[in-house]
Copies of this chain bind each other. A is one copy, B any other.
């Protein structure tokens, strides 16, 4: 039985039902994947879609290393939490999503409305870290939606040695890996039980 409240809220969404299911309602965090590779075309398509989503001052601090080869996987696995190791080894691709602390070097090109933006950040590493990490967080959210838009399942993880992975895959020392995401076609039984969500009234207050 559908309650009146559900009908009303569904009516307020203009995104079609199939898209709602693909991106949110039916999408689930996957813990097992088929052997089907994640292709260069899929990676590029996901990027070309989600690149349009906003970041503050168009900073776009997200940088990504996608680990697909067996050699690269072996460099990654020792730094994953034990519970994330087997599924990361088996996933066709694992994306390492990092914040570029030196994103400000691109601002003259990507944020022409404020020519002083680069210099404002140049002497304030604390502000750069804060801005880079916040906006990379937004971009991780967009990336998860984008992976699902490509018909793939995402398995985002934060259980790993972030310092070690940042050093190993971003050796310039100017990047911080925040989230790793296993990607691919979900295998059968790829899901745990869905976990409970907070209620609207616990999260949102309108005044």
Please measure, in the bound complex, the distance between the C-alpha atom of A178 and the C-alpha atom of B113, giving whole angstroms.
23
Contact of A1 with B by CB under 8 A = no
CA distance A45 to B10 in the complex (A): 6
List B contacts of A150 (CB < 8 A).
Answer: 12-15
Set B13, B46, B139: member contacting A149, Cβ < 8 A: B13
Q: How many residues of A contact B (CB 8 A)?
A: 89
Check B45–A207 contact: CB distance below 8 A: no
How far is it, in angstroms, between the C-alpha of A145 and the C-alpha of B142 when the chains are bound? Answer: 8
B142 touches A65 (CB 8 A): no
> In the complex where A42-B12, A137-B134 touch, is A197 in contact with B68 (Cβ < 8 A)?
no
Number of copies: 2
A53 within 8 A of B: yes
Pairwise interchain contact B196-A110, C-beta atoms closer than 8 A: yes
A50-92 contact mask (Cβ, 8 Å, vs B): 1 or 0: 1111101010101111111100100000000000000000000
- Residues in B with CB closer than 8 Å to A58 are 195-196
* Choice from B46, B138, B156, B207 contacting A137 with Cβ under 8 Å: B138
Please report the C-alpha to C-alpha distance between residue A67 and residue B204 in the assembled complex, in whole angstroms: 11
Proximity string of chain A (4-28) to chain B, C-beta cutoff 8 Å, 1 when within and 0 when not: 0110111111111011101111010
A172 beta carbon closer than 8 Å to chain B: no
**Complex CA distance for A109 and B197, rounded to whole angstroms:** 9
Q: Which residues of A contact B (CB under 8 A)?
A: 5-6, 8-16, 18-20, 22-25, 27, 29, 39-54, 56, 58, 60, 62-69, 72, 93, 106, 109-113, 131, 133-142, 144-145, 148-151, 154, 156-158, 178-179, 192, 195-198, 200, 203-207
A-B contact pairs, 11 of them (CB 8 A): A14-B150, A44-B200, A44-B204, A54-B154, A60-B197, A60-B198, A66-B207, A68-B206, A72-B207, A133-B133, A139-B141
